[in-house]
Homo-oligomer: A and B are copies of this chain.
Amino acid sequence: MSVPVFPGGCAMSRGLLSRGGVVCVLGSALWGAMPMRAQTPSALNVMPLPAKVQVGGGVMKIDTGFSMAFSGDREARLDRAAQRFVVQLERETGMTFPAATAAKDASKATLLVTTDHESKPVQELGEDESYTLDITPAGAKLHAANPLGTLHGLQTFLQLVSVTPDGFAVPAVSIQDQPRFPWRGMLIDSSRHFIPLEVIKRNINGLEAVKMNVFHWHLSDNQGFRVESHKFPKLQENGSDGLYYTQEEIRDLIAYAHDRGVRVVPEFDMPGHSTAWFVGYPELASGKGPYQIDRRWGVFNPAMDPTNERTYKFLNELIGEMAKLFPDQFFHIGGDEVNGKEWDANPNIQAFMAAHEIKNNQGLQAYFSQHVQDLVVKHGKTPVGWDEILVPGVPKTIVIQSWRGADSLAAAAKMGYRGILSNGYYIDLGWSAERHYAVDPMGGAAANLTAEEKERILGGESTMWSEYVDAENIDSRIWPRNAAIAERFWSPQSTTDSTSMYQRMEAESERLEWLGLTHRSFQRKMVQRMAGDAAPAELSSLRTLTEALEPVKDYTREENAAIEPTSQTPLNRVVDAVQPESETPRRFSAGVDQFLAGSCKDAAKASELRAQLAQWAGNDSRLQSLAQRSYLVKEASPASSALSQAAELALNALDRLMQGLPSTEDLKKQQIATLNALELQAHKSQLTLPARAAFQKLIEAATSGSACVNAR
């Protein structure tokens, strides 16, 4: 039996076109190139790691007498920030602070906050975000040039709070901090699945906590136009299934984000990815219509008609309306993935191209893009778009968002364009935090840019495309991994120790739940739902299973599904409940690495690994009775069986290792082939075995001639 190995999960199909490409570019190559650096890990659970930290002696206690006072600038959002700070401090400690913001004598406040001057009324790219935080046993002082730095410093303080033998406290420390990049963002796609406002809000709480400063809101696509337009109400009325944000809600959200130091950049994707527009306004399209909301995933034919003047008249009015609604300087016009089929099929468009000497669809898109950019500029905004908008002659003012990669971005910078990197930060692909963390906007060709060219690389954005997320599980697809990406954008380039990153990310993960995010707690509820009236032992086996697996990676989900998934397909399955990066197998795999690095001599570690393997190996039999009663559990049966069988193989290898009974080369090959087959079996449930590589390492170590066998 011959089964392919899965180095980085490079299987591709329709995912290739739909924001693909990214999948293999950063596959095993970079993975292998990233050594575990021996950088000193920070003992402080702060994330992102500050630019400069000096740890002092002792701690400052946090008790019910805690108070804070403000001096300098007193703009109203600082008062609100103080209130939020106190609420979060109360959650972290379980105490109340009756005098927290009532300190009359500022000099006696536990935490004195000084803000030199106001920030801009509309937050601008490149404003000073630096702050200093000095904590001694006697008190704490936070100082910043403007409220943006103050907001960041308050978050750092909250991250420093920990329980001690004598109560809650923050360590004495001196921090000087500022960001590496001025544009540190996250995209949420509200079109493929509508994401309720409260979910957006709690994720903006998360952005504030990890010092990201841009919320990129993908508001329209084939599956829905999600903004209320007063000028063109059929956009939302016919193009959203009633699921859209009112202008009042958007204004509220923008104010909410502004309070948290987060800019809101809207994206209206054009000329492709726009079927939902055409349901109400078919005259915009290049095809005949009528159009329906397209609830499937992928790249489809409908595209705006770039040759018709009324398209630009419409866009002029809409962009004008939206430019007023969204105060940010930047306005995203999308521009990705036009397949051109509607253009090819429309004789008028073909005639227009011939008349205007437009050679191909790329040229036609450039023509469209230039017109739309002019409209954006006319309404006072700076256009942003995906790689495709960068064509010869486009003005140097535009900003390129690169899904193609760091090299593409570097090339743009060389040509004089500003850019932000998203390739490598596609958090919907289900990669590990470590893999995203290894991607650097200044990596690849960017490393060789001149200082002036480097200035043009503004930062990056993670992207939460929403094919397989809804209000219930979206947090888990964003957090905690997004914190690692936030650190990449904020902390010095030399911050690359992934062991330290994981330690701090897990601490931050817990704190994020106090902010209302549900990336940890959602799983218990989903598991309980799937388990129905399960007995405790059955429920426990389903928990063990979900904590041991991950969803299939990249865009491979449902690729062989009998029924094509849509935005109305329930997301209530095991694949929807498991974490993109599960802590238990990650810890297990790290444990295997340690064990092997120690020449398999650490008996305590072996016993710990053995206990985990035994639990997994025995889990499938405990799950079976439940799988007979719940269709949702039954669907995961192949993966459950694969996990138990794979763990059994690894257990056998570990036992051979410990008993000094090496296996043969033939047996090894056979077992690895079986492991690969089991991985394929798990894919039937859209799941993957994240500890498979660790299992294989144990099998290899237990083979005659391997280092571990020889060491014993």
Please name the residue on chain B nearest to A166 by beta carbon. B631
Q: How far is the CA of A536 from the CA of B514 in the complex (A)?
A: 19
In the complex, which of the residues B529, B531, B630 contacts A92, with contact meaning CB atoms closer than 8 Å?
B529
**Inter-chain contacts of A576 with B (CB < 8 A):** 94
Q: Is the CB of B630 within 8 A of A163?
A: yes
A500 at the interface (CB under 8 A from B): no
Contacts of A159-184 to chain B: CB distance below 8 A: 162-167
Chain B residues lying within 8 Å of A167, measured Cβ to Cβ, are: 631
Instruction: Tell me which of A92, A163, A532, A634 has the highest count of chain B C-beta atoms within 10 A of its own C-beta.
Output: A163
Chain B residues contacting A507 (CB-CB under 8 Å) are 533
User: Is A117 part of the binding interface, using a Cβ–Cβ cutoff of 8 Å?
Assistant: no
Cβ of A354 < 8 Å from any Cβ of B?
Answer: no
List which A461-520 residues lie within 8 A (CB) of chain B.
Answer: 472, 507, 510, 513-514
Bound Cα distance A530, B631 (Å): 38
Within 8 Å of chain B (Cβ to Cβ): is A570? yes
Q: Find out whether the CB atom of A165 lies under 8 angstroms from the CB atom of B95.
A: no
- Asked if A568 is at the interface of the complex by the 8 Å CB criterion, the answer is yes
In the assembled complex, how far is the CB of residue A313 from the closest CB belonging to chain B, in whole angstroms? 34
Question: A513 CA to B568 CA in the complex, in Å?
Answer: 25
Closest B residue, CB atoms, query A520: B524
CA distance A61 to B572 in the complex (A): 16
Is there contact, CB below 8 Å, between A628 and B529? no
Decide: B525 and A514 in contact? CB cutoff 8 A. yes
Bound-state CA distance A166–B530 (Å) is 12
* Cross-chain contact A533 with B45 (CB below 8 angstroms): yes
Q: How far apart sit A632 and B96, CA to CA, in the bound complex (Å)?
A: 16
Q: Are B93 and A529 interface neighbours, CB within 8 A?
A: yes
**A587 to chain B: which residues have CB within 8 Å?**
536
Closest chain-B Cβ to A564's Cβ sits at a distance in Å of 15
A241 interfacial by beta-carbon distance below 8 Å: yes
Contact between A163 and B532 (Cβ–Cβ < 8 Å)?
yes
Contact with B along A33-70 (1 / 0, CB 8 A): 00000000000010000000000000000001000000
A521 within 8 A of B: yes
Q: How far is the CA of A229 from the CA of B526 in the complex (A)?
A: 45
CB <8 Å contact, B472 and A630: no
Other-chain residue from B94, B241, B568, B572 in contact with A529 (beta carbon distance below 8 A): B94
Chain B residues in 8 Å Cβ range of A64: 568, 570
Q: Mark A75-117, 1 if CB is under 8 A from B, else 0.
A: 0000000000000000011111010000000000000000000
B93–A164 contact, CB under 8 A? Answer: no
Q: With A628-B165, A632-B163 known to touch, is A568 a contact of B96 (CB < 8 Å)?
A: yes
A352 to chain B, nearest CB (A): 40
- Cα separation A632 to B162 with both chains bound (whole Å): 12
CA A480 – CA B531 in complex, angstroms? 19
- How far is B96's CA from A630's CA once the two chains are assembled, in angstroms? 19
Given contacts A163-B530, A631-B163, contact A241 B98 (CB under 8 A): yes
Q: Within 8 Å of chain B (Cβ to Cβ): is A310?
A: no
Partner of A513, one of B94, B163, B166, B525: B525
A528 interfacial by beta-carbon distance below 8 Å: yes
- Chain B residue with Cβ nearest A163: B532
CB distance from A268 to the nearest CB of B (A): 25
A571 at the interface (CB under 8 A from B): yes
Binary B-proximity of A621-633 (CB < 8 A = 1, otherwise 0)? 0000000111110
The answer for the CA separation of A229 and B588 in the assembled complex, in Å, is 60
Q: How far is the CA of A366 from the CA of B553 in the complex (A)?
A: 75
Q: B629, A163: Cβ atoms under 8 Å?
A: yes
Within the complex, the shortest CB–CB distance from A65 to chain B, in Å, comes to 11
Chain B's nearest CB lies how many Å from the CB of A162?
Answer: 5
Q: Is the CB of B96 within 8 A of A570?
A: yes
- Report Cα–Cα, A576/B94, bound state, in Å: 10
Which residues on B sit within 8 Å (CB–CB) of A529? 92-94, 163
Assembly CA distance A514 to B472 (angstroms): 12
Interface bits A560-602 vs B (CB < 8 Å: 1, else 0): 0000000010111000100000000001000000000000000
Nearest-CB distance from A499 to chain B (Å)? 14
CA distance A510 to B93 in the complex (A): 27
User: In the complex, A536 Cα to B503 Cα: how many Å?
Assistant: 12
On chain B, the residues within 8 Å of A530 by CB distance are 163
Nearest B residue to A529 by beta-carbon distance?
B94
CB distance from A508 to the nearest CB of B (A): 11
Chain B CB within 10 Å, residue with most, of A93, A166, A510 = A510
Contact B570 A95 (CB under 8 A): yes
**Complexed CA–CA distance, A95 and B571 (Å):** 7
Bound together, the chains give a CA A372 to CA B628 distance in angstroms of: 64
Hey, which chain B residues are within 8 Å of A632, CB to CB? 163
Q: How far is the CA of A521 from the CA of B516 in the complex (A)?
A: 13
Query: Which residues of chain A from 619 to 658 have a CB within 8 Å of any chain B CB?
Result: 628-632, 634
Query: Nearest chain B CB to A497's CB is how many angstroms away?
Result: 17
Chain B neighbourhood of A166, CB < 8 A:
631
Contact call B629/A94, Cβ cutoff below 8 A: no
**Residue from A94, A513, A524 whose CB has the most chain B CB atoms within 10 Å:** A94
Further pairs besides A94-B570, A94-B572, A510-B528: 15, Cβ < 8 Å: A64-B568, A92-B529, A93-B572, A94-B529, A94-B571, A98-B241, A162-B532, A162-B533, A163-B532, A163-B632, A164-B630, A164-B631, A165-B631, A514-B525, A521-B524
Q: Can you list 8 A-B contacts with CB-CB less than 8 angstroms, sorted by A residue number?
A: A93-B572, A96-B568, A96-B570, A162-B532, A163-B530, A163-B630, A165-B630, A521-B524
